[in-house]
Amino acid sequence: MIGVLALQGNFDSHVKILEKINLNHKLVKDSKDLSSLSGLILPGGESTTISNLLRRNKNMIDEINLLASKKPILGSCAGLILMSKNSNDNRVHNFDFLDITTDRNAYGRQVYSFEAEINVKYGKISSNLNSLFIRAPKVNEIGRKVEILATYKNEIVAVKQGKHVGLSCHPELLDETLIHEICFKGKK
Ligand code: GLN
């Protein structure tokens, strides 16, 4: 059972992807929803808002940390910002699941949102995925344990560290399943 954090943001589109790849799922709105999951998705949305809602429910932060020590976490866009070790904005709760720093809204405002093909390379996989960039963050520094999963125009747009995967854009909004399969089905 994969949980999808459903406090704010585009959790619905992740649910659709999990359905498409036949993984059971449930929406996570409270700490009790986090027990006995086999993975968790932190969706896009507004990282400051999601952080506020999480900080109001401290148990949730503790439970997410506990889950991440055992099971994979996938974060997209705001989710990636939350997973990074630092995003230079103290309104954001940084879980530090990924040894990267992120810069919020680094591609510009909503009007500068765009669709692009990102190039995914992982194991035997080499594939172009359609993806949406919506007020996307950029990944700045990356630690040595972080693998680069995908790039777009020389920017790092998806990373993997151990079990955890984070991406700055939204392939799930264009029905792409590959990143979810890599994270939760061990596809290589
Ligand atoms: N700009 C948002 C933030 O900083 C992220 C946007 C998104 O998730 N599509 O939280």
Domain of 104 in residue numbering reads as 2-185
Can you give the pLDDT at residue 109?
Answer: 85
Can you give the pLDDT at residue 171?
Answer: 98
Can you give the pLDDT at residue 112?
Answer: 84
This prediction's pTM: 0.97
Can you give the pLDDT at residue 83?
Answer: 99
Question: Going residue by residue through the chain (188 aa), what tens digit of pLDDT does each one get?
Answer: 999 999 999 999 999 999 999 999 999 999 999 999 999 999 999 999 999 999 999 999 999 999 999 999 999 999 999 999 999 999 999 999 999 999 999 998 888 899 999 999 999 999 999 999 999 999 999 999 999 999 999 999 999 999 999 999 999 999 999 999 999 999 99
CA of 105 to the centre of ligand 1 (A): 7
Q: Which atom of ligand 1 is nearest to the CA of 9?
A: 8
The two beta strands, 147-152 and 155-161, are antiparallel
Can you give the pLDDT at residue 31?
Answer: 96
**CA distances, 153 to each of 107, 116, 138, 156 (Å):** 12, 10, 12, 8
Q: Which atom of ligand 1 is nearest to the CA of 170?
A: 9
- Nearest-CA residue for atom 2 of ligand 1: 46
Can you give the pLDDT at residue 45?
Answer: 98
What is the CATH number for 173? Answer: 3.40.50.880
Q: Rounded to whole angstroms, how far apart are CA atoms 63 and 23?
A: 21
- Site to probe by mutation for ligand 1, drawn from 83, 115, 134 as the one with most ligand atoms within 8 Å of Cβ, is 134
DSSP 140-158: EEE-TTPEEEEEETTEEEE
Q: Is 186 helix (H, G, I), strand (E, B) or coil?
A: coil
The pLDDT > 90 percentage for the chain reads 96
Q: Which atom of ligand 1 is nearest to the CA of 43?
A: 8
- Nearest-CA residue for atom 5 of ligand 1: 78
Q: Rounded to whole angstroms, how far apart are CA atoms 96 and 98?
A: 5
Number of domains, the chain: 1
